[in-house]
Amino acid sequence: MLLKLFNLLPLLITTLLTTTLQSTTATPTDPTINNFSKRSASTVLNAVTTISTQLITLNNTVTAYPGGIEGSLTALQIQAETIQLEVDLKTAIIAAKQSANFTDEESLSVAQAFVALEPTIASTLTTLVSRKKDFDDGLLGVASLSFLVEWDLQQLSFLSSQLGKAVLEKLSATYAALAPLVLDQISAAFASAIAAYK
């Protein structure tokens, strides 16, 4: 049995690394994303809702992750869900960049969406940090996946920062002045999670 598991080790490593490398070039699947017509605040709000839903899905999967040999398939699922989250963030960045400047009313709605998103991000990151020990022996129970989690966190942190910048440029002056408070909280949560995996 143990010999069979060790024989699976190269396949699992290859699968994880292939999926990770694909995430660096993953592009949004929205067929209209390359349509350069102006987006609206509602497009950005929909993108933020999609991100929130994907974060909840990822959080639930990580919560259920048992680590070790029995968690190998779940580890692949976590990686796939992380890649989807990266795609969702890229979609939101494009939507924000292509949007016209938001009115005060639209800025309020977008700001509220980000305020509501922050605890979901924090919760998911807290869950990932709490499962570090499980990721430490997550590769068939014999090797660590923590390096991969750290890399994913760095990518998500970068994309989150890019989304924040893209949205900030579209907010009306009042909300643009307040936005860094939320964006700094999100950035700090990522920095803390990344530090836990170093």
Q: What is the pLDDT of residues 66-85, one digit of tens each?
A: 998 889 899 999 999 999 99
pTM comes to 0.82
Say what percent of the chain tops pLDDT 90: 72
Can you list the positions of beta strands (E) in the chain? Answer: none
17-26 pLDDT, tens per residue? 455 545 455 5
Confidence (pLDDT) at 38: 61
Please, which residues have CB within 8 angstroms of residue 117's CB and are 6 or more apart in sequence? 48, 51, 52, 55
pLDDT at residue number 141? 73
Average pLDDT over residues 34-56: 85
The residue extents of the domains of the chain are 39-196
Based on C-alpha coordinates, what's the Rg of the chain?
18
Closest residue by Cα to residue 161 from 105, 62, 92, 107:
92
CATH topology of domain 39-196: Glutathione S-transferase Yfyf (Class Pi); Chain A, domain 2 (1.20.1050)
